[in-house]
Structure formats: C-alpha cells, structure tokens
C-alpha cells in the first residue's frame, strides 16, 4: 500500500516481522506503513491488521533495535516474533483446500446422480457413472488424504481412531462403485463417498480453525524478554548484544521504558520498576544499587546499569515458562467428548459391517452382494454427526460469544468450562482494572487540574498517563505552560504565569518505606506545599454483581493473589470472598494443583505472567483482554471490556453448548438406530444414503444454530 523508496532494486533486502499489538484503527495502519517507508534503508512495510504484525523489507545493516526504535518513534511498541509464531496456520489451509475440492466434486457428482435417480438407464447411466468416477477418483485421492494419513499413522501404532472407519468406508465405497461402474451395475455410491468427505472435512476445518486460535502460550512468554541488550564493552562503549551472546557478569544498560533482557543486580542508578506482570504487585517498586532485578520487567523512571547474573534459561521468566509448559500438559491430555465417543464408535462400526457381510454370506448371498451391504452399512454409519455436530456447535457458540466480547481460543475450552465447580480469581488486573486511577481529584481546583493535565500530558510515565486520562474525562482543558521539561526519575517541571509548577515523585514517600504507598504523585504550584494525588487500582465496576451471578450458577469463588495482604484485604471484604495473598507463581500453581487433586475442577481467572502457570493448570481459564500476552495466551478465553459479567455469561454459554452437543450425539444415535437396520437389510440405495446423510447433517447443524441466541 505504500510507495517503495527508490532503493536500488538489486540490493539484497532483509525481511523482519514485528508484532505491534497497539494498532487499533485505519490511522495506525497508514501511520506505521508511511512512517516506516519514509525511513532510510527501509524499502517497504506492510501491516497485517488481523495478526497485528508488520512485515518490513529493509537493508541488512538496519538492526532489530533500529527498527524497534523507528516504530516507537512513530508511537508504537513492538516485539520481534519468534520463528514458530510466524509460521502460518498451514493445517487449516490444507484442510480448506481439500474441503473446496470435495465440495466442488460433491456438487457435480450429485448433479449427475440426480439424473440417474430420476430414471436414466442404459448407456446414459453408464456414461454418468463413468463421469462421476472421473470426478470422484482424483477427489478422493486428494481430499481424503487427511483421513488416510491419520488412519495409517494410528494403525501403525496398533490403535484405532475415527479416521480408520472413515478411510475404510470411503475407500471401500469408491472401489465398489468403480467395480459396479465397470460391470454396468445399477448403483454407484460416488456421490455418497464424496459428500461424506465434504461434510467431514467441513467439521475438521472448523475444528482446526478453533485450534489455531490457541497459539502457544510459552512462545509468547519468551517474547517478553527483549531480543538483546546494550552492553558495555571493555572500553566502556555501549554495544548491542544479541540475547544469545549476553553472558553473566556483563554490564547492561537499560533505558527508560525498556524491558530487561536478563536477571541482574543494579550497579548504577535507581529507578522504579514495573514488576506487575511478574509478581502481581500493583505498585511499581523502587530499586536502588544492589537490588535484584528480573528479566521481562519494565524500567519506568530512569536509565540504569545492571550487572547480569542470569541469562536465558536460568532467568525467573524462563522458570515460569517451564512451569507453564508442565502445567499445560494435563490440559492437552484432556479427552474431548467426541473423541471419547469415537473410541467406542470405530470398533462398533467395523464389527457391524463385517458382521452383516458374513451374515449375508451365510444366508446364501454372493460375495458381491455381501460386500455391497457392508459398503452401505459403512456409508450409513459414517460419523457425520460426530464429525460435524460438535465443531459446528462450538464454532456457532464461539461466534455468539465473540459478539459479546468473549474470545474463545480452544475448542475443548467450552467443554471444560461447562464442568468447572469452583473459581479462583487473581486480584490485580482481574478483579481490579489493573491500572492506577486517581482518587482525590475533587480536592483540587479546576485551575490546579488544568496545570496537572498540561504537565501529565508531556510524560509517558504510568501515573502521568492515568492522571491525564482521568482529568481529560472530567472535561477540563490543559493550561498553557512554558519551558516544560521532564527529568527522568524525578518528574515534570514547567513555568506557569511566572511561577514554577511541578508534578513530581512525592518526597515524603520515597524517603521512607515506599512499598506501601508509592502510588501517588505530588503537584506543587509556585512555592506552595506539595499536594498529593493518590492513586488506587479500582475494582471493576460490576464485580459484585458478577460474583453473585457466579454464586447463582453454583460456583464457589475465592481470591488468589500475588499482591500484599494489605492490598488484597479491602477487595476481599468488599466482595465477600475468602482470599490468599502474597503467593509466588509456583505457590499459585500449587494451590490449583491441590484443588485438582481433591477432585475439584477449577476455573482460573487471571491476567499476569505470574498467573501463567496457574492459568495453564486450571481445568479452564479466563483472562481479561488487558492481560499480559502470556496471560492471554495461557487462558482458554479472553474477554474485552471493563466488566466481569463475561465470566458468568461464558459459563452459561458453555453449559448450554454442551447440552446441544449431547442432544446432537443423541440425534446421531437415533438416526443410526433407524438407518443401520435398513442398511443391514440391504434396503439402502445410493439415493437413500444421500438423503439420510445430508438429512442428519442438516438436523444437527440446525440444532447447533440455536446457540446463536446464547444468552436467552
């Protein structure tokens, strides 16, 4: 979309893909693309808005930090993508192609079949059969591959799955039809075989679309470490070192607003560090020389120099990643209802088909007739309802939830969510909004607020942006200031009508123990006393109501927080919940595991990196959209907005979805009870098979569509 800069065309260009989560509108797209394209050394930039990524073609001498600096110059934070994440969802695409081919073939063969059923005979029928064969054979060979491959794989392991009866059914049907065609027989089942493939591929594709949404949480976690660091070499010069080459003992420079690339100890400077993602602490903590700092945390106030103590897999963030990986394994072992049904289904179908063939042979039928009966049984029993009904129910209810701001990331999530019997909630960012909100603005005059707004706007500090947003919301406009300057780690200073005005870190607080009440700024006008603007992390507006709804659903809730008890207690009192505070990520994980071992099915609701292992371990998990990437990746569902009502809504929807899924399975069984005896009796012609198959599929799809009205 942008105009390539006149770089010489034969220059070799590098391609870098960066994740830019902050883009939200058309303006962002053009700002990023034009801003980058106007930079020297960049040939083109192309935004993928859906994936929130930008692909940059640039000269090789531009490094990753150069590109990130360029993007932050335009106003966007960016993160490099690991190779695994840039890999496209090839599975879905392959299934979609197979489905398109099967759909095309099914339509055309059905067209020919209809003329046969309406009475074509003799040479015409033979010609139509041959034409059908011409279309069906390549289609089965191409579109059947996903099933054949998976069937061969499990058969090698000596097991069986749903794909085995499907492969045998489709393969045998095609071969028998070909034989019938060659011998001028009356019936060919090409339409049935291809239609079956089409229905099953539709179900498979919907399923894989759901799975693609659940991308790997652990990969996202490692993104939070920066890709490298500025380190001091022997001559005291700063050089960019890739994260792989960073070694313990090196001194790294961490600029304002940068994430730490490794664990270490501060050797120069002091600053406040946002640890909220790691510990759940709501207030940024002051760190001085000699204090330990962790990789992945954010430097807020001033540049510091850090002596590195641990890198790569030894860092705390890598520990959390490992814990998440271990905790998530239990979930991946979860066997879905459809798969549990399939376990009994495959052997039953095989026995039935083989049994009816043998029965007819004993009753004196020819081998040819007996095989035709077996084919009809396989075709009729092929698991359209199982293969289609469950994914359709899930995708419909995922779509309905999406309209209400709840993003479902995994197909089995609804199933697991419908089973939960207790809820654990994190505090910071989950029950609360996770961002500071000024509390005592009423105590200030409009004039003071105007000055505060003008000062706050110039800074990108967390408290400044929160203050600016809150004052803005009151409709107060900023006053004109002169000589505005920001001093890192101190505050913003300016001149207003000849007086000095300041928005600074409160002196009284930083002197003493800062841990309890660092969430404040001081506004000083002229020589006046400093007036404190206090911030708290406010509760989500409908928290009380949402928790009552959870109670009505028969779920017990409690708080599980990494924050200090003094910060958790008031929240717990307001909501009337029990609470455990001061937990490390490992302890949160343990708490969930204890409940799990006691036979409870826990729904974990959390947002931070520190919740990651617990989210992965919970029977189901939900995160707010304001959560860290890790929280969002580890959770099964993500909801947008400031309210908590999506949680009870999602649980109700999950229960309703599973009710529909069970109904669909009953429908499928009912259909088989009627159709299988007919097939065994030899009464199923291709016409009846086609009607039965499409009829039962339409029935289960129609039933699943009722989920569109999920909240009624």
- Give min distance, CB of 49 to another protein, in A: 3
- Rounded to whole angstroms, the Cα distance separating 689 from 176 reads 15
| Count of C-beta atoms within a 10 Å radius of residue 517 | 15
CB 377 within 8 A of CB 356: yes
H or E element that contains 436? strand 432-438
Closer residue to another protein in complex, CB, 100/337: 100
DSSP 484-513: EEEETTTEEEEEETTEEEEEE--HHHHHS-
Output the 3-class SS for 147-199.
HHHHHHHHHHCCCCCCHHHHHHHHHHHHHHHHHHHHCCCCCCCHHHHHHHHHH
Closer residue to another protein in complex, CB, 9/27: 27
Site for another protein in 576-605 (CB under 8 A): none
Instruction: Tell me whether residue 426 is one of the annotated catalytic residues.
Output: yes
- Give min distance, CB of 108 to another protein, in A: 6
From the list 559, 543, 547, 555, the residue with the least C-alpha distance to 655 is: 555
Residues in contact with another protein, shown as a per-residue x/- string from 93 to 112 under the rule CB under 8 A: x--xx--xx--x--xx--x-
Q: Who's near 475: CB < 8 A, 6+ residues apart?
A: none
Please choose, out of 47-55, 305-313, 608-616, 656-664, the segment that lies near another protein by the rule CB under 8 A: 47-55
- Rounded to whole angstroms, the Cα distance separating 360 from 291 reads 83
- Side-chain half-sphere CA neighbours of 461 within 13 A: 27
- Give min distance, CB of 400 to another protein, in A: 19
Report the SS3 class of residue 599. Answer: coil
- Rounded to whole angstroms, the Cα distance separating 283 from 566 reads 13
Closer residue to another protein in complex, CB, 32/620: 32
- Rounded to whole angstroms, the Cα distance separating 654 from 39 reads 49
- Give min distance, CB of 712 to another protein, in A: 28
- Give min distance, CB of 135 to another protein, in A: 8
Closer residue to another protein in complex, CB, 23/300: 23
- Rounded to whole angstroms, the Cα distance separating 210 from 450 reads 49
Binder of another protein out of 15, 21, 48, 322 (CB under 8 A): 48
Q: Is 19 in the site for another protein (CB under 8 A)?
A: no
- Give min distance, CB of 30 to another protein, in A: 4
Please choose, out of 56-64, 92-100, 358-366, 665-673, the segment that lies near another protein by the rule CB under 8 A: 92-100
Q: Is 710 in the site for another protein (CB under 8 A)?
A: no
Please choose, out of 64-72, 89-97, 150-158, 602-610, the segment that lies near another protein by the rule CB under 8 A: 89-97
Binder of another protein out of 20, 43, 47, 342 (CB under 8 A): 47
What angle do helix axes 190-213 and 90-117 make, rounded to 10 degrees? Answer: 160
- Give min distance, CB of 137 to another protein, in A: 14
Q: Is 25 in the site for another protein (CB under 8 A)?
A: yes
Q: Is 51 in the site for another protein (CB under 8 A)?
A: yes
Closer residue to another protein in complex, CB, 139/546: 139
Active-site position among 426, 537, 607, 611: 426
Closer residue to another protein in complex, CB, 139/167: 139
- Sign for the pseudo-dihedral over CA of 503, 504, 505, 511: negative
Site for another protein in 122-151 (CB under 8 A): 124, 131, 135
What angle do helix axes 26-37 and 64-74 make, rounded to 10 degrees? Answer: 130
- Sign for the pseudo-dihedral over CA of 571, 573, 574, 579: positive
- Rounded to whole angstroms, the Cα distance separating 85 from 90 reads 12
Q: Is 1 in the site for another protein (CB under 8 A)?
A: yes
- Give min distance, CB of 607 to another protein, in A: 24
Q: Is 86 in the site for another protein (CB under 8 A)?
A: no
For 74, counting Cβ atoms within 10 Å of its Cβ (0-12 exposed, 13-18 middle, 19+ buried), the class is middle
Q: What's the length of the chain?
A: 712
Question: Could you say which DSSP state residue 259 is in?
Answer: B
Our measurement of the distance from residue 50's CA atom to the centroid of its chain's CA atoms, rounded to an integer in Å, reads 13
Q: Is 691 in the site for another protein (CB under 8 A)?
A: no
Closer residue to another protein in complex, CB, 26/363: 26
- Phi (first) and psi of residue 234, to 5 degrees: -60, -30
- Give min distance, CB of 136 to another protein, in A: 13
From the list 399, 332, 84, the residue with the least C-alpha distance to 215 is: 84
Q: How many residues at the interface with another protein, by CB under 8 A?
A: 23
Site for another protein in 333-352 (CB under 8 A): none
Binder of another protein out of 6, 12, 26, 473 (CB under 8 A): 26
- Give min distance, CB of 394 to another protein, in A: 20
Closer residue to another protein in complex, CB, 3/238: 3
Closer residue to another protein in complex, CB, 142/240: 142
- Give min distance, CB of 115 to another protein, in A: 9
CB 656 within 8 A of CB 710: yes
Q: Is 29 in the site for another protein (CB under 8 A)?
A: yes
What angle do helix axes 145-156 and 122-143 make, rounded to 10 degrees? Answer: 60
Closer residue to another protein in complex, CB, 8/90: 90
CB 643 within 8 A of CB 542: yes
Closer residue to another protein in complex, CB, 6/290: 6
Q: Which residues are catalytic?
A: 426
Q: Where along the sequence are the contacts to another protein (CB under 8 A)?
A: 1, 25-27, 29-30, 47-51, 93, 96-97, 100-101, 104, 107-108, 111, 124, 131, 135
């Amino acid at each position: 979309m942008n105009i390539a800069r006149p770089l010489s065309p034969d220059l070799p260009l590098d391609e870098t893909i960066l994740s830019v989560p902050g883009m939200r509108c058309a303006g962002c797209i053009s700002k990023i693309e034009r801003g980058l394209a106007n930079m020297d050394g960049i040939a083109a930039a192309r935004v993928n808005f859906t994936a929130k990524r930008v692909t940059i073609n640039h000269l090789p001498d531009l490094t990753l930090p150069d590109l990130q600096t360029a993007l932050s110059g335009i106003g966007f934070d960016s993160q490099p993508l690991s190779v695994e994440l840039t890999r496209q969802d090839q599975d879905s695409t392959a299934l979609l192609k197979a489905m398109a081919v099967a759909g095309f073939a099914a339509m055309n063969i059905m067209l020919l079949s209809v003329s046969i059923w309406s009475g074509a005979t003799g040479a015409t029928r033979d010609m139509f059969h041959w034409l059908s064969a011409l279309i069906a054979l390549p289609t089965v060979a191409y579109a059947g591959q996903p099933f054949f491959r998976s069937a061969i794989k499990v058969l090698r392991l000596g097991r069986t799955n749903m794909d085995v009866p499907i492969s045998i059914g489709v393969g045998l049907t095609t071969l028998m039809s070909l034989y019938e065609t060659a011998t001028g027989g009356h019936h060919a089942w090409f339409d049935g075989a291809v239609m079956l493939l089409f229905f099953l591929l539709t179900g498979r594709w919907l399923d894989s679309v759901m799975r693609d949404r659940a991308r790997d949480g652990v990969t996202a976690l490692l993104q939070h470490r920066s890709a490298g660091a500025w380190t001091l070499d022997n001559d005291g010069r700063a050089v960019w070192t890739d994260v792989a080459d960073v070694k313990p003992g090196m001194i790294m420079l961490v600029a304002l607003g940068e994430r730490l690339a490794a664990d270490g100890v501060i050797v120069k400077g002091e600053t406040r560090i946002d640890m909220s993602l790691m510990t759940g602490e709501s207030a940024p903590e002051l760190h001085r020389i000699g204090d330990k700092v962790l990789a992945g945390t954010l430097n807020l106030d001033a540049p510091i120099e850090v002596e590195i103590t641990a890198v790569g897999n030894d860092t705390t963030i890598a520990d959390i990643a490992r814990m998440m990986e271990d905790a998530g394994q239990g979930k991946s072992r979860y066997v879905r209802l459809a798969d549990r049904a399939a376990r009994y289904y495959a052997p039953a179908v095989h026995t039935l088909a083989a049994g009816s063939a043998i029965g007819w042979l004993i009753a004196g039928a020819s081998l040819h007739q007996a095989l035709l009966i077996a084919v009809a049984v396989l075709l009729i029993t092929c698991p359209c309802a199982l293969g289609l009904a469950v994914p359709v129910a899930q995708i419909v209810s995922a779509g309905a939830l999406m309209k209400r701001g709840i993003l479902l990331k995994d197909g089995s999530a609804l199933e697991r969510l419908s089973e939960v019997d207790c809820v654990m909630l994190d505090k910071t960012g989950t029950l609360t909004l996770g961002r500071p909100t000024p509390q005592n603005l009423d105590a200030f005059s409009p004039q003071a607020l105007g000055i505060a707004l003008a000062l706050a706007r110039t800074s990108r500090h967390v408290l400044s942006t929160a203050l600016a947003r809150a004052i803005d919301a009151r409709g107060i406009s900023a006053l004109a200031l002169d000589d505005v300057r920001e001093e890192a780690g101190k505050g913003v200073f300016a001149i207003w009508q000849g007086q000095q005005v300041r928005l600074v870190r409160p002196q009284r607080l930083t002197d003493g123990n800062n841990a309890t009440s660092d969430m404040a700024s001081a506004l000083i006008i002229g020589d006046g006393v400093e007036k404190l603007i206090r911030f708290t992390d406010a509760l989500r507006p409908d928290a009380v109501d949402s928790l009552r709804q959870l109670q009505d659903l028969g779920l017990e809730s409690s708080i599980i927080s990494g924050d200090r008890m003094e910060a958790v207690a008031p929240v717990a009192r307001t909501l009337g919940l029990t609470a455990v505070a001061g937990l490390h990520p490992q302890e949160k994980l343990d708490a969930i595991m204890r409940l799990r071992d006691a036979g409870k099915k826990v729904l974990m609701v959390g947002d931070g990196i520190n919740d990651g292992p617990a989210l992965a371990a919970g029977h189901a998990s939900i995160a707010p959209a304001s959560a860290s990437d890790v929280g969002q990746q580890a959770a099964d569902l993500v909801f947008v907005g400031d309210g908590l009502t999506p949680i009870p809504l999602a649980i109700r929807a999950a229960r309703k979805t599973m009710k529909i899924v069970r109904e669909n399975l009953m429908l499928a069984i009912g259909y088989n009870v009627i159709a299988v005896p007919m097939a065994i009796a030899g009464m199923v012609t291709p016409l009846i098979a086609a009607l039965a198959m499409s009829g039962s599929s339409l029935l289960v799809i129609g039933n699943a569509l009722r989920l569109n009205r999920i909240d009624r």
